[in-house]
Structures are given as structure tokens and as C-alpha cells.
Structure 1
Amino acid sequence: MKWKIKEATSMISEQKSEDTTVSNQRNLALLGLILVAIAPSISVITGFAFKAGLLAIFVFIFTKVWIFGLPAFWYLRIEKGKKSLSWPENGGWKVSTLLGIGMLIVIFIAYFSIGDKLLRADELTEILDSVGLTVAWKFALAIIFWVFINSVLEEYVFRWFITSKIEQLIGGVWIPIFLSAGIFTVHHTIA
């Protein structure tokens, strides 16, 4: 009888330990999600809504470093993950290039057909001037940054880190994907 009581006590203790571990993992996932998900929008709000000039530039740089560094730190140090590198397979480069060219065509058509109706040139100049992007070479560098660095960074943050944190919180596959896409959409609605 004593043996069964000890076994039952041990099982209850193990269950409590597992419940605590799961709870801690969920709390960590929520913390990581919050710390990363709001950073891109803070940058946009500082730059475009508050038109904070030099402060906006510093906030922009800080949040880019933050959303690159924190997920990597989180994965390697907090979750004890292993470094890895995976190259696109099954035509990933070809598909992404074709999609990019297709989107470029759609953007050009939309801009040249309805762009002036949605945003007047003086409004755009006012927005860009507050962060120094009315100078041609600075604007060109910004475009290169947004196309080749920021777009990859957004995939890293929204498609990997935020999606994986939501998966840890609620489980499943599709709901985390849609919620991550929703966060991405909210950010770009602000942006």
C-alpha cells in the first residue's frame, strides 16, 4: 500500500512539474511574441505618425536591430535551439523571383494609374522629408534596404518567429499562420 501511495504521489508531482513547464513555456512564448510583434509598428508610428525626424531614424535603426537580434537570441539562448542554415529547395528562388516580378508589375500599374488619386505629391514629400528621404541617393539606399534587407527581415520575424510563438501558445498550424498574417497586415496598415 505504501508503494502505491508513493507511486501516486510521484505521478502527481510529475504532472505538476509538467504543467508548470508548459505554463512557463507559454509565458515565455507570449513574452517573446509581445517583445517582437510591436517593434516594427513602434518604428512606423514614431517616423510617420509623430514625424519625429532624427529620433525616428534612431528608433527605426534600433527596432531593426531589435527584431533581428531578439529572435536569434531567443531561439539560441532561451529555447536552446541549434544554429542552422537551410537553402530554398524545390524551385524556391524561381518562384520567389517570378512572384516578385509579378508584384512589381502590379505595383507599377497601380501607381501610374491611381497613385496620384490616393496620395498627392506634396503629402508624400512631407512624409519623406521628415526622415530625410527627399534626397535622391538616400531614397535609393532606402529602396535597396527595403527590397533586399527589410523584406527578408519581415519574413524572418513574421513568418518564422511570430508564427512559432503563436504555435507554442495555441497549437495547431493554420490558426497561427492566419494570426501571424493578421499581425503583419495590421503593421502594414499602419505603415
Structure 2
Amino acid sequence: MKSTHNIYLRERNRSILALLLIVPITSIGALFSTTIAPGTIGQGIAIYCGIWLLVFPLWWQVSVERQQLQLKVALDGWVVGVILGLLMFGTILGSYWFAGRYWLNIADIRARVTQMGMNIPLMVFGFGTFQTLVNSLIEEYVWRWFVYRHCARLWTQEQAVWISAGFFTLHHIILLAAYCDDWRLVVVGSIAVFVAGVLWARCAKIYHSLLPCYLSHLAADLALQIASWHILLG
């Protein structure tokens, strides 16, 4: 009994450390790239944070958890992912077209993006394509495969759904605050991100697969990129 309790405590402590070493990283990257040092330095730090997010979970799985990496493609839940993605796609574009574009200070956003050196059309399309196809997968791998799993060791699975979604929302609040002058947009956008995080974490919990999360996340990011292209390129 004592040995089992010690193993339980050791796993909990590992999960606490794992969360401390990954959850703040996206917020640090967002702060430096948008507020503290926008430009080359901030983008460099953001890239370093992105590399950490990609490498750290793999390193932790192999070196700390002592588990082999296995690539499994599970098709469970893909229909739900497609339906959820279509709903998100329509909701995001509809919200932008009928309300968001009137609330946003487009001139200010363009000035901030120019300050970051990200206003070249080819770069805008390239970055948008990367965000849609690759970054959405990386975020699911980080937040649903790694962060949710460690949250589930510290709390119940249902609590882990909500807590991991809260962690996922933090850096989005920073990004929204950096680009939106209207506090209503920051609040509404943050709530939308949190709800999406809850839905994706619940999909991961139910289907034990990242595919439904990725498909719907990809559709949501595509809608966001279409709105971004409209804002930045007219």
C-alpha cells in the first residue's frame, strides 16, 4: 500500500512539474512577440518557445515517463470532428463578417503587424497556411495529448477538461489584448477560445484520438486565417 501511494505521489509531482514547464511557455512567447519586444527579438523568442513546445513533450515521454513513442492513427470520432469543424468555421466567419470587422481597429492591427515585419502578402499567406495545417496539429498535440493527460492525473477527467481548456486560453487572451482595442472583443474571443478548448478536450477524452480535435481545430483556424487575410490584405 505504501509503495502504491509513493508511486501515486511521484506521478502527481511529475505532472505538476510537467505543467509548470510547458503551460507558461506559450504566454511567454506571446508576450515577447506582441508587447515586450515586438520585432526580430520577440519573434525569435516566440520561435524558441514554439520549438520547446514541440520537443519538450516528446523528451518528457521518453526520458521522464520512460515510455516508447508510438505513432497510432485512430479514426474514431472523425465524423464528429468534421461536423464540429463546419460549425466552428461558419460561426467564426459569420461573427467576423457581421460584427467583428466593425469592432476591430483594422488600421491599428495593420500597424502592429507591420512593426513585427509580418505585413508582406506572401508571408501573410505562408504564415496563415502554417497556422491552419501545422500549428493546429501542434496545439492539439501539446494541449490535448500532453497537458490534458497530466491534468487528468491531478484532477478528475471532467475537471481536467475544463482546467486544460483554461490553460489553453491563457496565451490567446494575451494575443487578443495585443491586437484588440475593444475589451468586448477580448472577452468574447477569450470565451470562444475557452469553449473550443473544452470541446476539443472532451473529444480527446471520449475518443482517445486527436483526429476529431485536429479536424475541427483546422477548420476553425482556416476561418480565422480567412478573416486575417481580409483584415491585413483587404
1:33/1:165 contact within 8 Å kept: yes
Aligned to 1:166: 151
1:33/1:162 contact within 8 Å kept: yes
Aligned to 1:187: 171
Residue 27 of structure 1: how far off its partner (Å): 1.9
Match of 2:76 among 71, 90, 95: 90
Residue 116 of structure 1: how far off its partner (Å): 2.9
Aligned to 2:13: 27
Aligned to 1:138: 123
1:132/1:138 contact within 8 Å kept: no
Which residue identity does 1:142 align to in structure 2? Answer: F
Structure 2 matches for 1:113-132, cutoff 5 A?
113-132=98-117
Residue 98 of structure 1: how far off its partner (Å): 3.9
- 1:102/1:19 CA distance change after superposition, 3 Å: closer
Residue 19 of structure 1: how far off its partner (Å): 4.1
Residue 45 of structure 1: how far off its partner (Å): 1.1
Rounded to whole Å, the distance in 1 between the matches of 2:132 and 2:169 is 18
Aligned to 2:229: none
Residue 143 of structure 1: how far off its partner (Å): 0.3
Aligned to 1:8: none
Rounded to whole Å, the distance in 2 between the matches of 1:78 and 1:182 is 25
SS at the partner of 2:48?
helix
Rounded to whole Å, the distance in 1 between the matches of 2:15 and 2:85 is 32
Rounded to whole Å, the distance in 2 between the matches of 1:50 and 1:112 is 31
Q: Show structure 1 runs of 5+ residues with no match.
A: 1-13
Structure 2 matches for 1:57-96, cutoff 5 A?
57-90=43-76, 92=78, 94-96=79-81
Q: Show structure 2 runs of 5+ residues with no match.
A: 176-234
2:140 aligned with 1:155: yes
The normalised TM-score by structure 2 is 0.68
Identity value in percent: 25
1:112-159 CA deviation, whole Å, 9 max, x = no partner?
Answer: 222233211111112211222211001111101111111111111111
Rounded to whole Å, the distance in 2 between the matches of 1:47 and 1:125 is 15
Rounded to whole Å, the distance in 2 between the matches of 1:81 and 1:98 is 34
Rounded to whole Å, the distance in 2 between the matches of 1:166 and 1:102 is 28
Residue 97 of structure 1: how far off its partner (Å): 3.5
1:82-124 CA deviation, whole Å, 9 max, x = no partner?
Answer: 21122132351x4434433332222222222222332111111
Aligned length: 175
2:84 aligned with 1:99: yes
The normalised TM-score by structure 1 is 0.82
- 1:51/1:99 CA distance change after superposition, 3 Å: farther
Match of 1:110 among 76, 92, 95: 95
Rounded to whole Å, the distance in 2 between the matches of 1:95 and 1:182 is 22
If you compute each CA radius of gyration, which structure gives the higher value, 1 or 2? 1
RMSD: 1.9
